[in-house]
Structure 1
């Protein structure tokens, strides 16, 4: 029988009694420390859960505790912290993880953290820290394993003391202003696994050979670090390396064969260097998973040995000068997912085995000289997303197998020699969004039914024939339909006008006949209409003049007759061509000027008042008309003028008296609701709503500039009125603007002073902005503005400092409504014409008539209909009404691109929007400097301009989740130049723009991680 256990000792019992008291005491001390930290950070709203009523901080979402109940982790990323790190934080003796990333922490490196003796992880990335990194940084905890100080403004040299942090496994120094030499001492960090030094302006130097001693290194990121010379031969000693990115430098010489003996290497990025020579055949010795050596000057053939890399999933060789044929063995690789060789000098036949043995998703071979047929088995494994093979010499028919490939989203085969009919299944692939097959010899008729989400069809310059089917009404999501230069016949079906999302319609160069449809009210998004070179007859429908976004109209070379509808004068067209028809009568007054001198040629029946238009003068009668004597005409004219003068004087007196009486009678029916202290009354406003004060007309009303009193100050008045009662649409816009602007107080949001309303009219009274809207300053010289009021000096009068100031101000206003309003507000119509400028060019966001509030920050919200302006609204807005703040981020990205390129949002290059044009410019490897507006391009500002261009790209990413928040956008823009962010208007030669913060991270990480759906290929542009 076993003996019972001895009773616990008195000392042990005493320990059990005092243990809870010790834990309570420790918890209380740590609670007090954290509350003190919160106070020193000015109580940020994000830490509202930190309250003194808590029994322990371990329940707070930002706090992690050890098993013993001590605070061990603080996760304070993106908490809007704007003060320095308090030293009291090291009173948390068990603190091992401190994450303060993505805040606005100022000052120098927080040496107070030297006292955090148990620190293992320290993340200070994406803040406002500056100055040199301390030379005694090795005083940080000896147990430190992870440090990230990327995305700050640290400068000078990297201190050698970093090499003495012997336990470091991760060292991130990316995106700062380091300018010294590369630190050889980093090679002494024997435990280092992750090293990032990308996006720094180091002095030009070779990669230190000491880096070859980092035996445990898995990740090396040295993009755009001013590397020169050759890749060190001793890199072959980096046995654990999995990810190597040396892109964007000036490395020279061949890729060393020893590099590819790295047995564990999974990724190689060497693109955008000045590497030259051929790809070494010894690459076959490596068990590679991903190879990206794109955007170089590599020459010679693709090595046969690539076909031996059985684990290879991604092969990107695009934008080089490679020649010869693709080795047939590459087509048989069993793991290949992505194959990109576009823009080279490759020839021969594409290996027919492509896709048959691997889960191929992306196949991009455009801009080469391939011949023969397209491989028939590209989708054999049911994973293919995109086929991009345009601008080659390919022939034959489209493989029928593509018609049953349900995963396909884009087919781009334009500018080849394909023939035959398009397989029927291709039109109805469930997920296809773009079909671009122009410039071939395809034949057959158009289908009555297409895939539900097919938004772009480009079939120009082929041999399609027959009528446009009445079933075209089911093409409900189509946005672009280009079918120029085919053999289409019959009339244009009225069902085509039902496509409410259509933005571009090109049917020119066909054999269409009959009259043009008269009911086109659904074309509310149409911006370009081209039906020239057909046989269309009858009158031009007056309804064409009601298309609100139409910018380009070409109906030339037809058999149109009758007068040009006066309604066409309502359009703000950038292109108009009605030449070579049978039109008659007087042209609309709005087009009776030299800007449209070639718009009406070869219409003998037309006349104009301006003789410079080469049309018959409307005052000259035909040869068979009776002539009155000149004396009689003069007498009649004199009498008519006298009568008119007398009538005018009498009318003015009567109208003046009537208006005075009417205003006095009506004042009682008007209600004024004030949101600020006013020094005017409703009588001041109502008595000045005259056409001489009219300065603009918008979609929801007229805008007046009205003087208030003798102070010389003005207000802007928007009148929402339809003659009788406010309709439902305008009523909702009025209520939205009043509800939102009436409660907002921010210097970058236009100030709503008051609203004045009656039964049949609503007035919104704003502060007046002397310099009007941004679009007039950027684009006035490129187009004929049709409107009211004075026009500023024009594009080119805004220097770069002012443009940057405008961008920062507008971003701050947008950030406020997204982040600081409760609930958050989506503007939904951000564009350059809705950014107003005061006399000092301070920006303010205006026109909240389409804005919506969100139930919760970041939540998706259902919109009843697509709103916004073409060229600005995000792609997801065209197919989903479930949206969030990221649609405003997209629109603001377009504004940034306008500021840096000077181009308009919706006509950057032909039928291409500015966002699409910018992405194409970037991915085709063209220098960003070529995209910058020549009016402001200057070498002193190129870094800042490049930053804004890249930020515009990031904001206009097709995937909403990859766009930054407006808080991040503000952070990045402010770093472009602190003096501009502080409100100074001049930028001198000392301009020192910080390298891109945030957006380079997005562009690089998105490009490297997105595999297929990102921005380094052509698939993304149509997906």
Structure 2
């Protein structure tokens, strides 16, 4: 165009050009839209046309930008959202053909294979979430090619190896999440270079080797949320953590951190959450607190000392203060009782004392108040339930006194009330018995008075009122207590007869009415007690006969009717019940003891019944008459028979004299030896009591070391004696070393799940270890049907060991080993963990035993070496067999085998001549066998299949070939406890699990199955 071109022509040309440009742009946009539509349908086809994408069709009438899985910007796909869709295929390699993708989210699926490097082609990608899947292998070293990333989450996968240095080059990252993986290498210090990072989640990486918290992390000045709990951290928290000025949420719990809490931590102005529980932190809590935004503080399960700082009284926004299981002392700052936001105050198991602030609850909506196992005195605050929100009140094991606050009678929110072992008195507040939501009411060991009400809360499952001063009759209204599982009213002043209505409670498992003033007969119609396990009516004035209906209580395991006025015969059907504990002593019973009850197991069950007799001398009772025999006339007895009888009698007398002389000589020889007794606690027996009782009749077990004897002693009933024997007059040095190792270890450790060594006795050629006696002997005798000798419950039957008992045993044994590894200084490695070295008492509490091979580690962080491998085939960790290296992880391996035995019922050497149970289990995991098919039918019920599968998987993880891939015993205990031990003290579990979440979403089904 020239200057001479008319304006109207210019306008027409401009309009034409604009139209052509618009048409071209529209054409390009339409082309891009159609291209993206084809790619999306291609993605659908890659995922094999799943039903959740049925609306993804080829029809042009369906705009893909309106599909819920798609977000568009300017009519182009920028976000692909496929969360929780049960996808089992790999990611499409052509995904990045969607050129404008900035946001990809595939969390909560089942996507396998290694990290998809095809995503590097998404040049505009800012947000990538692949968490909660089945990815394996290493996180790529060149992951920094995703240079635009602002959000990266790879959590809850099976990534292993290192967290690579290249992540530190993703300078735009604001959120990095690599949690619950199998990373077992190093953590890149370069993460500290991510200056824009606001969220860092590295928690529950159980396979990480022991590592210190990288000091470079404290350079993250913009970091607001930092979670690295349960990740094997040790050492001290860097002092420079006080320089992380933006930090709001810090969780380093469940590690092995030690030393003091840095002074600068509570000076962070924006800090709102601090979780440092379950570490080894020591010293006092910093007394200068300026983090006035704090809403939650959990420093529980450490070794903290000193007082609760007065400055904590300034934290007026505090919701949760959890300091339980420390060594804190002094009084609770008065000002804490004035907090308006406080919902949970948890300080149990400390050394706190003094009066409680009386304003607790008046200003705040308290939900949990747990101060158990301290030395508090005075009265409970009156207004704990002032706002009607209180759920749990746990104040047992203190010196509190006075009456319970009357306001508790109108506290309808209350679910758990435990006040045992205090000095409380008076009547129970009106309304508390029938409080709507109350499920556990535990008042034992106080001075309460009054009578039981006709009605209780419909939700009440546990009523424990023993060792108080309650009186009157057990009300007829007890029939309305339909949900009561445990009723413990021992040692009170109840009188009258046992009401028939009490026998109508269908869920009752434990009934303890001993040491009262009950009269009359035991009700005969008790068929509703189908769930009853424990019945104790001893030390009353009951009369009449033992009802036959007791013999039809199939769940009954413990029966105590001693110290009453019961008469008549012992029902013969009582014998087949094979009760774990039976006591009928000190009554007026008559007749013959059923033959199946004539066992040493019941040798104290029938004493004090002058009318009873037995056919043998086992029970120390009068021998019964032989009964009416077929009469024969004296004249019909042949002379030959008389001669035979005379000969037999003579031989018997001769043999008796010979045995007596031999016994006398043997006893005299034993006593001539010089015996030395070393005791580790007060004893009710002497060394002669033990030495003279080591006869073959008392042998209950044997091994390579020698024999184990059961010896009767006064007060204790029995003790177990392990005799170390040699091949000659002089003991083998290895046996002596084993003896000394066991004495050294057991004499210095105390734990309820470790066998108690009472004393040792030694001479020149004999070594004796005297332990507490465990009625149910060793786990292998129950689990693998190895024992034919009667134990407390009679001849062992495999199906008696149901899953609740197995889980209870597993938790107990794990706690014993955890104590050895983490609470002993220096740590102790058992080296021979197996089912035969786990003993069981009458309540199936597990006791770790046999420390002859145990090894005390010089330093926790160092590996000790042994000159030779010791242990049992099937339980020996592979690295121990190959390198003779010793650390705690060899015990973890062996315990994993025990877990596999408990869940499958198979023995540790199950497999062929070249494999073991652990290898067998790993092989089945590799080929994808349904775990339910591997479980022990004798223990499996529909209600516990999922639990058994989880524990089986835990056993598999514990038996991982690489030691670093195994969890610690502390982690094992946490996982087992999360199953909530069915035989343990339920109330104690409530204490721990209401106080702090010790497990945080462990995802077994997606972590373990691909860890091979």
TM-score by length of 1: 0.64
Matched, 1:147 2:157: no
Question: In structure 2, what is the equivalent of residue 374 of structure 1?
Answer: 380
Matched, 1:403 2:409: yes
Q: Is the 8 A contact 1:504 1:529 kept in 2?
A: yes
Question: In structure 2, what is the equivalent of residue 173 of structure 1?
Answer: 178
Question: In structure 2, what is the equivalent of residue 74 of structure 1?
Answer: 81
Q: Is the 8 A contact 1:315 1:339 kept in 2?
A: yes
Helix, strand or coil for the counterpart of 1:519? Answer: coil
Q: CA deviation at 1:970?
A: 5.6
Helix, strand or coil for the counterpart of 2:148? Answer: coil
Match of 1:31 among 41, 49, 52: 41
Question: In structure 2, what is the equivalent of residue 160 of structure 1?
Answer: 165
More moved, 147-156 vs 95-104? 95-104
Q: 1:16 to 1:595 in 2, by over 3 A?
A: same
More moved, 580-589 vs 159-168? 580-589
Q: Is the 8 A contact 2:580 2:793 kept in 1?
A: no
Q: 1:634 to 1:319 in 2, by over 3 A?
A: farther
Question: In structure 2, what is the equivalent of residue 481 of structure 1?
Answer: 487
Unaligned runs of 5+ in 2: 1-14, 642-778, 816-833, 847-859, 861-871, 878-887, 904-941, 981-988, 999-1012
Question: In structure 1, what is the equivalent of residue 983 of structure 2?
Answer: none
Q: 1:493 to 1:964 in 2, by over 3 A?
A: closer
Q: CA deviation at 1:912?
A: 9.9
> Within 5 Å, which residues of 2 pair with 1:467-506?
467-506=473-512
Q: Give CA deviations for 1:301-349 in whole Å, capped at 9, x if unaligned.
A: 1111111111111111111111111121111222111111111111111
Q: 1:27 to 1:995 in 2, by over 3 A?
A: farther
* In 2: Cα distance, 1:967 partner to 1:114 partner: 40
Q: 1:997 to 1:562 in 2, by over 3 A?
A: closer
> Within 5 Å, which residues of 2 pair with 1:192-341?
192-200=197-205, 202=208, 204-284=210-290, 286-341=292-347
Q: Is the 8 A contact 1:774 1:832 kept in 2?
A: no
More moved, 214-223 vs 472-481? 214-223
Question: In structure 2, what is the equivalent of residue 844 of structure 1?
Answer: none
Q: CA deviation at 1:280?
A: 1.7
Q: Give CA deviations for 1:630-662 in whole Å, capped at 9, x if unaligned.
A: 869989xx9xxxxxxxxxxxxxxxxxxxxxxxx
Question: In structure 1, what is the equivalent of residue 144 of structure 2?
Answer: 138
Q: CA deviation at 1:488?
A: 0.5
Question: In structure 1, what is the equivalent of residue 581 of structure 2?
Answer: 575
Q: Is the 8 A contact 2:896 2:958 kept in 1?
A: no
* In 1: Cα distance, 2:29 partner to 2:313 partner: 66
Q: What do you get for the CA RMSD once the two structures are aligned?
A: 4.8
* In 1: Cα distance, 2:894 partner to 2:132 partner: 20
Q: Give CA deviations for 1:174-206 in whole Å, capped at 9, x if unaligned.
A: 333444444221111122111122344555554
Q: Is the 8 A contact 1:537 1:558 kept in 2?
A: yes
* In 2: Cα distance, 1:391 partner to 1:327 partner: 21
* In 2: Cα distance, 1:125 partner to 1:965 partner: 29
Matched, 1:189 2:194: yes
Helix, strand or coil for the counterpart of 1:356? Answer: coil
Q: 1:101 to 1:477 in 2, by over 3 A?
A: same
Q: Is the 8 A contact 1:774 1:833 kept in 2?
A: no
Match of 1:524 among 515, 527, 530: 530
* In 1: Cα distance, 2:843 partner to 2:439 partner: 18
Q: 1:476 to 1:18 in 2, by over 3 A?
A: same
* In 2: Cα distance, 1:120 partner to 1:1006 partner: 40
Matched, 1:993 2:966: yes
Q: Give CA deviations for 1:584-626 in whole Å, capped at 9, x if unaligned.
A: 22233432322222222222222333331222333446xxx99
Question: In structure 2, what is the equivalent of residue 720 of structure 1?
Answer: none
* In 1: Cα distance, 2:276 partner to 2:957 partner: 34
More moved, 781-790 vs 358-367? 781-790
Q: CA deviation at 1:571?
A: 2.2
> Within 5 Å, which residues of 2 pair with 1:915-954?
939-943=888-892
Question: In structure 2, what is the equivalent of residue 364 of structure 1?
Answer: 370
Q: CA deviation at 1:627?
A: 10
Helix, strand or coil for the counterpart of 1:275? Answer: strand
Q: 1:12 to 1:284 in 2, by over 3 A?
A: closer
* In 1: Cα distance, 2:174 partner to 2:168 partner: 12
* In 2: Cα distance, 1:964 partner to 1:1014 partner: 25
Q: Is the 8 A contact 1:1013 1:1019 kept in 2?
A: no
Q: Is the 8 A contact 1:593 1:610 kept in 2?
A: no
Matched, 1:534 2:540: yes
Question: In structure 1, what is the equivalent of residue 672 of structure 2?
Answer: none
* In 2: Cα distance, 1:989 partner to 1:354 partner: 51
> Within 5 Å, which residues of 2 pair with 1:954-973?
none
* In 2: Cα distance, 1:593 partner to 1:964 partner: 36
Q: 1:438 to 1:61 in 2, by over 3 A?
A: farther
More moved, 106-115 vs 276-285? 106-115
Unaligned runs of 5+ in 1: 1-5, 639-772, 795-830, 835-870, 873-891, 915-926, 928-932, 954-962, 981-986
Q: Is the 8 A contact 1:288 1:309 kept in 2?
A: yes
Q: Is the 8 A contact 1:153 1:994 kept in 2?
A: no
Q: 1:48 to 1:612 in 2, by over 3 A?
A: farther
* In 2: Cα distance, 1:279 partner to 1:538 partner: 63
Helix, strand or coil for the counterpart of 2:425? Answer: strand
Helix, strand or coil for the counterpart of 2:432? Answer: helix
Q: Is the 8 A contact 1:58 1:71 kept in 2?
A: no
> Within 5 Å, which residues of 2 pair with 1:800-949?
871=804, 939-943=888-892
Match of 2:447 among 423, 441, 462: 441
* In 2: Cα distance, 1:1000 partner to 1:791 partner: 28
Q: CA deviation at 1:380?
A: 1.3
Q: CA deviation at 1:163?
A: 0.7
Q: Is the 8 A contact 1:540 1:565 kept in 2?
A: yes
> Within 5 Å, which residues of 2 pair with 1:539-558?
539-558=545-564
* In 1: Cα distance, 2:277 partner to 2:788 partner: 37
Instruction: Give the length in aligned residue pairs.
Output: 742
Q: CA deviation at 1:408?
A: 0.9
Match of 2:618 among 612, 616, 628: 612
Question: In structure 1, what is the equivalent of residue 358 of structure 2?
Answer: 352
Q: 1:1015 to 1:24 in 2, by over 3 A?
A: farther
* In 1: Cα distance, 2:896 partner to 2:258 partner: 27
Q: 1:775 to 1:123 in 2, by over 3 A?
A: farther
Question: In structure 2, what is the equivalent of residue 857 of structure 1?
Answer: none
Q: Is the 8 A contact 1:77 1:99 kept in 2?
A: no
Matched, 1:119 2:92: no
Q: CA deviation at 1:381?
A: 1.6
Q: 1:554 to 1:1002 in 2, by over 3 A?
A: closer
TM-score by length of 2: 0.65
Q: 1:395 to 1:997 in 2, by over 3 A?
A: closer
Q: CA deviation at 1:425?
A: 1.5
Q: Is the 8 A contact 2:208 2:964 kept in 1?
A: no
Match of 1:88 among 66, 91, 94: 94
Q: Is the 8 A contact 1:459 1:483 kept in 2?
A: yes
Question: In structure 2, what is the equivalent of residue 683 of structure 1?
Answer: none
Q: CA deviation at 1:569?
A: 3.4
Helix, strand or coil for the counterpart of 1:427? Answer: coil
Q: 1:631 to 1:461 in 2, by over 3 A?
A: farther
Question: In structure 2, what is the equivalent of residue 712 of structure 1?
Answer: none
Q: Is the 8 A contact 2:179 2:203 kept in 1?
A: yes
Helix, strand or coil for the counterpart of 1:595? Answer: helix
* In 1: Cα distance, 2:637 partner to 2:270 partner: 98
Q: 1:552 to 1:78 in 2, by over 3 A?
A: farther
Helix, strand or coil for the counterpart of 2:535? Answer: strand
Helix, strand or coil for the counterpart of 1:241? Answer: coil
